[in-house]
Amino acid sequence: MNGRHDPWIDRLSEFLDGDLSPREAQAVEEHLQACPSCRAVREDLEEVRRRARALPDREPARDLWPDVRERLGEDPLAEKIIPLKQGRPASTGRSARFSFSAPQAAAAAMVLLAGGWLAGTTLAPEQGSVTLSDRRPNAEFVGLDGNIPGFPGALSRELASLERRVLEGLDELEPTTRATLLRNLDVIDRAIRESLDALSREPGSDYLRGHLGGALERKRAYLERMSTLMEA
Amino acid sequence: MRILLSLGAAAALAAPVADAPRMGGGGPGGGPVVELAPDTVVDVGMGDELVIETWRGSLTVRVGEDDEVRMAGGAGVETPGLARSGSVLRLVGAERRGSGDLVLTVPRWLPVRIHSRSLDVEVDGMGGGVTVEVLEGDLRLASVTGSVEASTLDGEIEVTDADGDLRLTALDGDVTLRRATGQVTVQSSDGDLELEEVEGAEVSAVTVDGDVVFRGGVTPGGVLSLSTHDGDVSAWLPAELGAEVEVSTFDGSFQSDYRVQTRSFRAGSPLHFTVGDGSARIVLQSFDGDIRLLTW
């Protein structure tokens, strides 16, 4: 069997980097007070960071940017290519590297990353795992009218019905299996929430709409598969 | 002991089989149940199908040379029974729930379906179609051809040397596919997907929380689609690639070993560009993660 995966651990590195919002950081701190295993991971991470800081800086073996520039320059359609803002040398191989982040893309178009990074704006995972008693089908991402914004009401009702059926059958499962199933629902719901949030900020994004549709379809397929397997 | 089970043989099996006492309760579907002591052999013919349900523990299915199903149990195995309903041979445990480490040797051409809540499965050499669905358990398949469907809620999937229509789903676990051709669909909710030396007309790998790594090729006219919500996507492809490439990320970077040229780009839309003759189609997506298109 594969090992368990704690979503809190994913947040610890960001927590130590100071990349979390005050609300997220407070949530992590509260969790750390109650969770010895996460405290142990935090201590390990701090030790790794201490050792990393003690390492001497190393210069790159060679400047890779001339190779990248040469490859870009040999394009016969160079004049028709979207202008790219040149940055510092790329960090790996001969690859050209780009960054495009939808929230900033309207202003920045595409930027040759070359060592930089456009700060993320994604939401943090919801706190901890959801218990059965806490969980209400789709409650976290349906609108006031009970529908998923921008999608047919029938889809929302179908997902709610499927999820209710699966949740009702959870009592028959082993506790570990039940926890795994709920954690996976959390993972999928988080993807849906983040997609909805992104789409609310970029309503014209074809990619985000397709991505959200894919996430909803995955949830439907997941619940259908769970329902089938639980009958085995 | 050899037991011949053929269509129309059910009536003969209604009577107790010598030195093979029948199990109580009857088989699923109402057919007679034949107890399978170790080294029991059951003849099968083309058109038959083997179904294994409600077994818990571990199951190994390997290929033998003869048209027969041979059962061998390891330590702790309960004596299973076998019931035929038409062309379907169904393996069941005592009280219809068996457990233990079970090894079956079957002909390569025999279709096998396995459904269980908790079962580790190893399948080696099957060519007649394999379906494995478990709630909990690791699945390992090797040298399989034809239609192959493997699904586990909580466990890992590892498939090597496969050719055919491959559908692999580990909802809470990693999927590793090595040396495979054909039509490939790999999915996970919370797990990494690794596809090594994979080439097919249609290859799709989708996870929600995990990285996707692909190394292989895409046939002319074929489609390669790699997607994750939260993770990195890395694809290694031949330097002499011909493909229309579509790259999408909400918050991430894109790195390419291939020359990227595009006539237009609109915020919120995928980045499109052509490599070589553009004969294949490659779709790379990560909502929150880096995307790399590299040469090997």
Secondary structure (DSSP) of A210-222: HHHHHHHHHHHHH
Please report whether residue A120 resides in a domain.
no
DSSP designation for B20? B
pLDDT of A116 reads 23
ipTM of the complex: 0.75
A106 and A141 share a domain? Answer: no
Does the pLDDT value for residue A35 go beyond 90? no
Residues 92-151 of A with CB under 8 A from B: 92-103, 105-106, 109-110, 113, 117-118, 120-122
Nearest chain B alpha carbon to A201: B268
Domain that holds residue A90: 65-112
The full 3-state SS of A156-200, as one line of letters, equals HHHHHHHHHHHHHCHHHCCHHHHHHHHHHHHHHHHHHHHHHHHHH
Secondary structure (DSSP) of A82-133: PP-B--SPPSSTT-EEEEEEHHHHHHH--EE-TT--PPP-PPPPPSSPPPGG
Reported residue count of chain A is 232
Q: Is A40 on the interface with B (CB under 8 A)?
A: no
Q: Return d(Cα B129, Cα B90) in angstroms, integer.
A: 16
Does the pLDDT value for residue B210 go beyond 80? yes
pLDDT of A83 reads 31
- CA angle, B235 as apex, B231 and B241 as ends, to 5°? 155
Please report whether residue B242 resides in a domain.
yes
A145 and A104 share a domain? Answer: no
Residue B277 tokens read as 């003759």
Does the pLDDT value for residue A15 go beyond 70? yes
Residue B287 phi/psi, 5° resolution? -60, -50
Most A CBs within 10 A among B208, B212, B265, hence the mutation to make, goes to B208
pLDDT of A145 reads 60
pLDDT of A133 reads 44
Most B CBs within 10 A among A174, A207, A219, A225, hence the mutation to make, goes to A207
Please report whether residue A186 resides in a domain.
yes
A37 and A97 share a domain? Answer: no
A46 and A105 share a domain? Answer: no
Tell me which chain B residues have a C-beta less than 8 angstroms from the C-beta of A224.
none
Q: How confident is residue A168, by pLDDT bands cut at 50, 70 and 90?
A: confident
pLDDT of B227 reads 97
In angstroms, the separation between the Cα of residue A185 and the nearest Cα of chain B is: 9
pLDDT of A96 reads 62
Please report whether residue A121 resides in a domain.
no
Please report whether residue B212 resides in a domain.
yes
Please report whether residue A152 resides in a domain.
yes
Residue with tokens 């009958």: A231
Count of structural domains, chain B:
1
Nearest Cβ partner of B172 from A105, A184, A230?
A184
Q: How far is CA A86 from CA A13, A96, A114, in A?
A: 30, 11, 8
Give me the percent of chain A exceeding a pLDDT of 90. Answer: 0
What average pLDDT score do residues B52-74 get? Answer: 85
Does the pLDDT value for residue B289 go beyond 60? yes
Q: What is the pLDDT of residues B247-286, one digit of tens each?
A: 999 888 899 999 988 776 676 778 999 999 999 999 999 9
Of residues A37 and A141, more confidence is placed in A37
A138 and A105 share a domain? Answer: no
Q: Return d(Cα A49, Cα A172) in angstroms, integer.
A: 44
Residue B25 tokens read as 């309760």
pLDDT of A163 reads 85
Tell me what percent of chain A is helix, strand and coil, each rounded to the nearest 5: 60, 5, 40
A105 and A147 share a domain? Answer: no
Does the pLDDT value for residue B35 go beyond 70? no
Does the pLDDT value for residue B113 go beyond 70? yes
Does the pLDDT value for residue A206 go beyond 70? yes
Name the nearest CA neighbour of B241 among B213, B263, B260, B264.
Answer: B260
Q: What is the pLDDT of residues B125-148, one digit of tens each?
A: 999 999 999 988 999 999 999 999
Name the nearest CA neighbour of B135 among B154, B148, B157.
Answer: B154
Q: Which residues contact B275 (CB under 8 A, 6 or more apart)?
A: B241, B242, B243, B244, B245, B258, B259
pLDDT of B206 reads 96
Q: Return d(Cα A215, Cα B228) in angstroms, integer.
A: 10
Please report whether residue B166 resides in a domain.
yes
Q: How confident is residue A82, by pLDDT bands cut at 50, 70 and 90?
A: very low
The full 3-state SS of B90-138, as one line of letters, equals EEECHHHCCEEEEEEEEECCCCEEEEEEEEEEEEECCCCCEEEEEEECC
A159 and A87 share a domain? Answer: no
**Cβ-contact B95, B120 below 8 angstroms:** no
Helices (H), B145-213: none
Please report whether residue A164 resides in a domain.
yes
B50: buried, middle or exposed (CB in 10 Å: 19+, 13-18, 0-12)? buried
- Does the beta-carbon distance from A232 to B292 stay under 8 Å? no
Please report whether residue A177 resides in a domain.
yes
Please report whether residue B23 resides in a domain.
no
Amino acid occupying residue B8: G
Name the nearest CA neighbour of B178 among B156, B159, B200, B192.
Answer: B159
Please report whether residue B286 resides in a domain.
yes
Of residues A95 and B218, more confidence is placed in B218
Please report whether residue B107 resides in a domain.
no
pLDDT averaged over every residue in chain B: 83
Q: Do the strands B139-154 and B157-170 form a parallel or antiparallel pair, or are they unpaired?
A: parallel
Count of structural domains, chain A:
3
Nearest chain A alpha carbon to B229: A191
Q: How confident is residue A89, by pLDDT bands cut at 50, 70 and 90?
A: very low
**Cβ-contact B47, B59 below 8 angstroms:** no
A150 and A205 share a domain? Answer: yes
Domain that holds residue B193: 156-296
Of residues A227 and B225, more confidence is placed in B225
Reported residue count of chain B is 296
DSSP designation for B7? T
Please report whether residue B140 resides in a domain.
no
Of residues A223 and A9, more confidence is placed in A223
Amino acid occupying residue A130: V
Amino acid occupying residue A116: G
Residue with tokens 């992590």: A28
Please report whether residue A44 resides in a domain.
yes
Please report whether residue B256 resides in a domain.
yes
Does the pLDDT value for residue A98 go beyond 80? no
Which three-class secondary structure state does DSSP give residue A15? Answer: helix
